[in-house]
Amino acid sequence: MNKTIQMIHAPTNLGLRKHPDGRERGCDKLPDTFEQLGLHSAIGAKGTQRISKPEHPIEEVFDERTLNGRRVATYSVYLANVVQKVLDDDDFSLVLGGDCSVLVGSALALARKGTYGLIHMDAHPDYYHQGNRKQAVVAGMDLAIVTGTGTKLLTNLEEQAPYIQPKHVLSIGYRESDPEQDIIEEAAIAGISFCSAEQIRREGIEKTATLIQNFMDRTHEVEGYWLHLDADVLDASIMPCVDCPESNGLTWDELEYILQTILNSSLIVGMTVAILDPDLDSVAQDVTRTFCNMLIDVLGGR
């Protein structure tokens, strides 16, 4: 990746439920927090585009069994318009969420442009849909949505379904200890490739890097790749600032090595960063600062 970076602030919590006491999640604060910590200047960003934070309804509304589905659909089109403009400029889109629903708008922008693949880094498969859940949040459905499975309210915006073909997706970091292995199996049957956090540890980080490179080298099938990074791919002991921390996850060094492998490819056109919640961090913002510095290392040291 050797492109000029444009920052896109996408401060949405629509893809997550609120806290039990009714307070909204703090993922929307991530873009501004990273800017304050110096990310934008350190990586030499060309500019910053800011999408307004959407209102999170007081009462839960499930549209076609999807929380805030219609609002997410509207927001996704706004985000797609911004991402598409950056793609048209042949710059690198760095979308700072927000929750994982920001992947929907980003993928819609890719579908408008052509055929693209996805490297999906997440502790969870995010493959909930009406066929396996009575109702769900978009942050738990995003991989299903962008690969065409789920409510047409979100999967077929502008009649572009699927935004990304399942066979062009590699999902990294799910936990073999996750009790919902049937969800992962369902996604794999649909054509999505998976690499668990435990597999990375068993086989070693260098072999994992080779696996990723081999997957991305199928250049005759796609025009480029998008990278989606959910902070919960890290182990819960070092990343508590997410809505659903999971054990057996990646270390800082493992994540940085994998990100460097992916971002060193000329095929990467953009990236979403999601779920990290500064409200759940210490007053000193130690975890958020470490995550920010890691991004500076992998993006600023291109």
36-80 residue pLDDT tens = 999 999 999 999 999 999 999 999 999 999 999 999 999 999 999
Percent of the residues in the chain that have a pLDDT greater than 90, as a whole number: 95
* Each residue's pLDDT tens digit, 99-129: 999 999 999 999 999 999 999 999 999 999 9
Mean pLDDT of the chain: 96
Strands (E) located in 97-180:
117-121, 169-172
C-alpha radius of gyration, the chain, whole number: 17
Q: How many CB atoms lie within 10 A of CB 253?
A: 10
Task: Look at residue 89 in the predicted model and tell me its pLDDT.
Answer: 96
Single pTM value for the model: 0.97
* Residue 213 backbone dihedrals phi, psi, to 5 degrees: -60, -40
Domain ranges of the chain: 5-300
Q: Identify the CATH number of the domain defined by range 5-300.
A: 3.40.800.10
3-state secondary structure of 222: coil
With bands split at pLDDT 50, 70 and 90, how would you rate the model's confidence at 2? confident
Dist. CA 173–CA 165, nearest whole Å = 20
Distance in angstroms (rounded) separating the CA atoms of residues 41 and 35: 8
Q: Give residue-wise pLDDT tens across range 255-302.
A: 999 999 999 999 999 999 999 999 999 998 999 999 999 999 999 854
